[in-house]
Chain A
Amino acid sequence: MNQTALQLAYLAAAGAFILALKWLSAVATARRGVVVGAVGMALAIGGTLLSPEIVSYRWIAAAFVLGTVIGVPMAMMPMTAVPQRTALSHAFGALAAALVGTAEYYLRTVSLSRFTMGALAIEVLLGFLTFTASLMAFGKLQELVPTRPMTYPFQNVVNLAILAAAVILAVYLVLHPGQTELFPVIALLALVFGVLLILPIGGADMPTVISLLNSYAGLAAAAMGFVLDNKLLIIAGSLDGSSGLILSIIMCRAMNRSFTNVLFGAFGQVHAQATAVQQSTVRSATPEEAAAILDAATSVMVVPGYGMAVAQAQHKVRELTDLLGKRGVNVRFAIHPVAGRMPGHMNVLLAEADVPYDKLLEMDDANSELPQTDVALVIGANDVTNPAARHDKSSPIYGMPILDVDRARTVMVIKRSMNPGFAGIDNELYSMDKTLMLFGDAKAFVTSLVKELSSPA
């Protein structure tokens, strides 16, 4: 294939990628979007394979087979494992960029222009640090590494010092590309920094972190485009980079926190002392009572949180909503943007459980519906329902946008115990007069609700 044809294939691929993302904006066109993206990818790969630069296919073929053998099972994971899987794929993407950067550096050390060397340094720094950071995020999500924030004295100082050292050495290398012995040191510092960056981050901050890593992996690919003078790579990398950035901004806003606070704040630790000893009386209800209340309602808003996914209760919840739907109850779901472990995670979990997507309401829509709702049924969500976020200036979560569950006529909360949530704060929702606590495992409790409602009364 000659150069012009190859460049045209790349151009078509770039168009396909933009179209893919555009079509992904709505469910109706989303499938088409994925297909056109895959076609673009096939064109670009096919064109590259036919380019005259390739002298041997042996290693490429081996890598294709190996990549497919690993990639297919990774696509078949259950939806609960999608955050882990995504973290792992960020790691692979970043690793590819870092390895190509390393290979280019050693191949072309003498001929690299200062600018190319700069792009290469960015590619390698971002690539290696995103690689280990994503592996750490994977470890935390998979619970191979403790999910609680791990902190030690002067953590931020140490981390920033390592990053600064890596950047300073990289700048020096850009000015003196011949200093090849510096390259492994920079790579090592970036790898170490990636690990340290994720240590202090807790499970509930994962949606932001995973988006940020998405962005870094994209930027590393864009930097690779500069090094290889490949415009398609620049385009695909910047699409990925801006997507990750937008998602992390949305996640930060949904938690009313800043990037610096997420990355250096070690949430959970700071607020540990905020748990006040508050002896309040709560009312609880049995499955029979709860089922009767649900049955009598005209509208029910289910508020699912990560706890629902942990208990694997989503299929039972769907059964419950089916039963209520048959009895003429209007059931919908209120989805907080940070529900789950990555952006949009809860929607995918419910879609997998066959909940129709027009029943899933975004936070703002849900909040305008909640005051007219008979029953809000909270399953495995905590901090995102705490009214203290609206009015208690001393609360650590003050200012965080929440689902106004307390404005529904009756609130029912399925919860294992009265233990506080992730932020370690009491939820005043639980002691409100209109609130009924349904104590038990989410799946077991919903199962007994289903039983109550399906037995003819």
Chain B
Amino acid sequence: MSADLMTQLYILLLATFIGFEVIRRVSPLLHTPLMSLTNAISAIAVVGSIVIAGRQETGLSTLLGTAAVTASMINVVGGFLITYRMVKMFKRRRSDKP
């Protein structure tokens, strides 16, 4: 087992615990925006896809990489936009309205 691998496992462990602690505190009011935000964040898979698409090693890998970049970009763009739209809708009082 390499040192790199151990580091990766530690990161997985710590990130999971941080995830649990941070997300446990999210108000049920915001559970839908939470799901769309985490979904947008995990679209960070786009960086892996970019590398595969951009290295152009084989035809197959470029094709698969490009498809993966497209799929993740949909989530990056759509995910952050819709989450922002949602959280903007939550208003405290009627007087906030024009």
User: Chain A: residues with CB nearer than 8 A to chain B?
Assistant: 10, 13, 17-18, 20-22, 24-27, 30-31, 33-35, 37-38, 40-41, 44-45, 48-49, 51, 53-57, 59-60, 62-64, 66-68, 70-72, 74-77, 79, 82, 85-86, 89-90, 92-93, 95-97, 99-100, 102-104, 106-107, 113, 115, 210-211, 214, 217-218, 221-222, 224-226, 228-244, 246-247, 250, 322, 335, 337, 342-345, 347-348, 351-352, 354, 356-358, 360, 362
- B22 → chain A closest CB, angstroms: 5
Taking CB atoms, residues of chain B closer than 8 Å to A85 are 78, 82
User: Chain B: residues with CB nearer than 8 A to chain A?
Assistant: 1-2, 4-5, 7-8, 11-12, 15-16, 18-20, 22-58, 60-62, 64-94, 96-97
Q: Which secondary structure characterizes the binding site on chain A?
A: helix
Task: Kindly identify which residue among B37, B56, B79 contacts A56, using a CB–CB cutoff of 8 Å.
Answer: B56
Please tell me if the beta carbons of A67 and B85 are within 8 angstroms of each other in the complex. Answer: no
Task: Kindly identify which residue among B4, B31, B44, B97 contacts A343, using a CB–CB cutoff of 8 Å.
Answer: B31
Taking CB atoms, residues of chain A closer than 8 Å to B5 are 115, 226
What CA separation (Å) do A45 and B73 show in the bound complex? 10
Given contacts A22-B22, A41-B80, A67-B71, contact A99 B38 (CB under 8 A): no
Please tell me if the beta carbons of A343 and B16 are within 8 angstroms of each other in the complex. Answer: no
Please tell me if the beta carbons of B84 and A31 are within 8 angstroms of each other in the complex. Answer: yes
Known: A99-B71, A104-B52. 7 other contacts (CB 8 A): A41-B44, A93-B43, A95-B68, A103-B60, A235-B15, A239-B18, A246-B23
Please tell me if the beta carbons of B37 and A231 are within 8 angstroms of each other in the complex. Answer: no
**Can you spell out 21 A-B residue pairs with CB atoms less than 8 angstroms apart?**
A34-B80, A37-B80, A53-B51, A60-B53, A77-B82, A82-B82, A85-B78, A86-B39, A93-B39, A96-B69, A99-B49, A107-B61, A217-B39, A218-B42, A233-B44, A236-B42, A238-B15, A242-B23, A344-B29, A351-B91, A357-B91
Task: Kindly identify which residue among A34, A45, A247, A351 contacts B35, using a CB–CB cutoff of 8 Å.
Answer: A247
Taking CB atoms, residues of chain A closer than 8 Å to B31 are 247, 250, 342-344, 347
Please tell me if the beta carbons of B30 and A25 are within 8 angstroms of each other in the complex. Answer: yes
